[in-house]
Structure 1
């Protein structure tokens, strides 16, 4: 196992300080290889050292202007700092350079969501679900985007799929309840609000939703 492989292994084990030493050694061995800089940038990003992470990603791009994963890393860096427009630009650049993984489509979709462009987010989130059809987090974000663009039945089906993967997904139960509420199916809505509260007793949105329905029913 060379220095780079050792560093990545240590990083996965959460041994960040040890990983730093091996990443440093890997870069000293191959100073013109962008891979070492990209992975060191990933480590620094994980440690919330944004300024240094940015410098390492930039160095990788300086060495290889077609290093798609460096642009992806920059996208993640800016996303973490809520710089969504800059994140969007770098995710798009990574995709143009051939990065086709589900995560880049998911993150690009999320940048559009955070900028209030729900409809623009949809095709990227859809593609992310196609690449990772059993990933509950990706499916949930796609369901939210569908709901936010008033595609209620489609959103409902996605939230049901999330729950089929993970019955304990309280937010999926809550949002499924909301879709039923929008269809005037109060009993089904309350059922899923209750399930959300069983899983997460302090789920304020579910509490508020259930209380609002019960108040309306008591008035009738």
Structure 2
């Protein structure tokens, strides 16, 4: 925090000498973000845009900041700024992706689909765009349309656990493809044996296959992994009640034919839990699996004009999106005829030394 405070103070001193430099305001806003002061960051982004309305990075990052606020009142302006950004950078898939996320927030599904498709067209294998497009189809009751998108996602990112959970859920619930769903959940557990959603959904597959003893053991193991999950405890109770009733009636507890349970029976369900907003995922919509949410774009932050020191504080969920270290126009381009401009450069050099630890 000390280095960030020194950087902020150095930028403020530089701005005392040159308040007409949009890049200084932009870089100060980036420092504000890293200091967890979004309101001050937005004010300084706005200063940059007042001086240069087409400042690409200020457009992008200020729009992203407004989007991340979760305040619907900011969405129209965030949308306008992203639109301006893609006019300046029409080949950057991230701009279209964030337009798609804003449209999803506003329940504008047609627009969201269009923007996500545009992002995917520009960047093959765009993980977040593919997953969110599939999630959009699922939430819009177009689950079958989601499957080819999920296949493309898993082709590029075979270890994408949320994609596997969503695909398994669709295969089980809408395609009645128990074998395909089972393969998805087994693949998750091969990568992460402690994944509660994958484990629970595999237990549901065993129940659908009428292998009640195996479903019981599976749910017991899941409960050991997540002892506070009431839905797991409840589903274990359902399975045990069914086993007791079948034993009393002299019926076998397993079915060699793999017949599924009658539709009217009470049985465990796959879990869909509302996602909470936080970190790099979650758009306030139902998602498959507790904590599984819409993946979110990373900020184009951490200015190289700070001397290249310090890592971007955003933790990317999407390896397809580079954690770009960006800057506005170099302050070295400022004419140093006037004494105050030379002084501003000297201040920036001080910042570089501070952040590089020299």
Task: Flag whether TM exceeds 0.5 (same fold).
Answer: yes
> What is the aligned counterpart of 2:80 among 23, 32, 55?
55
- Contact kept? 2:219, 2:236, Cα under 8 Å: yes
The SS at the match of 2:227 is coil
- Contact kept? 1:160, 1:176, Cα under 8 Å: yes
- Corresponding residue of 2:224: 198
Q: How does 1:84-103 map to 2 (within 5 A)?
A: 84-98=109-123, 100-103=125-128
- Contact kept? 2:168, 2:181, Cα under 8 Å: yes
CA distance in structure 1 between the aligned counterparts of 2:191 and 2:49, rounded to whole angstroms: 42
- Contact kept? 1:173, 1:192, Cα under 8 Å: yes
How many residue pairs align between the two structures? 220
The CA deviation string for residues 31-60 of structure 1, in whole angstroms up to 9 with x for no partner, is 324343223222211111323322221222
Moved more, 139-148 or 20-29: 20-29
Report which structure shows greater RCO (CA 8 Å, sep ≥6).
2
- Contact kept? 1:174, 1:206, Cα under 8 Å: yes
Q: Kindly tell me: are residues 105 and 13 of structure 1, through their superposed partners in 2, closer, same or farther at Cα, counting changes over 3 Å?
A: farther
CA distance in structure 1 between the aligned counterparts of 2:114 and 2:244, rounded to whole angstroms: 51
The SS at the match of 2:219 is helix
CA distance in structure 2 between the aligned counterparts of 1:17 and 1:173, rounded to whole angstroms: 42
Q: Which runs of 5+ in 2 are unaligned?
A: 1-6, 8-22, 247-358
Moved more, 4-13 or 37-46: 4-13
Q: Which runs of 5+ in 1 are unaligned?
A: none
> What is the aligned counterpart of 2:182 among 156, 164, 169?
156
- Contact kept? 1:69, 1:94, Cα under 8 Å: yes
CA distance in structure 1 between the aligned counterparts of 2:99 and 2:109, rounded to whole angstroms: 11
Moved more, 166-175 or 104-113: 166-175
The SS at the match of 2:176 is coil
Q: Which has the larger radius of gyration?
A: 2
- Corresponding residue of 2:137: 112
Specify which structure has the higher proportion of helix. Answer: 1
Q: Kindly tell me: are residues 5 and 188 of structure 1, through their superposed partners in 2, closer, same or farther at Cα, counting changes over 3 Å?
A: farther
1:42 aligns with 2:64: yes
- Contact kept? 2:30, 2:41, Cα under 8 Å: yes
Moved more, 156-165 or 33-42: 33-42
Q: CA deviation at 1:120?
A: 0.8
CA distance in structure 1 between the aligned counterparts of 2:237 and 2:57, rounded to whole angstroms: 54
Q: CA deviation at 1:172?
A: 1.3
The SS at the match of 1:48 is coil
- Structure-2-length-normalised TM-score: 0.54
Q: CA deviation at 1:203?
A: 2.9
- Corresponding residue of 1:126: 151
Q: CA deviation at 1:77?
A: 1.5
- Contact kept? 2:48, 2:55, Cα under 8 Å: no
- Structure-1-length-normalised TM-score: 0.82
The SS at the match of 2:169 is helix
> What is the aligned counterpart of 1:141 among 156, 166, 185?
166
- Contact kept? 2:143, 2:170, Cα under 8 Å: yes
- Corresponding residue of 1:166: 192
> How well do the aligned residues superpose, as a CA RMSD in angstroms?
2.9
1:32 aligns with 2:54: yes
Moved more, 38-47 or 55-64: 55-64
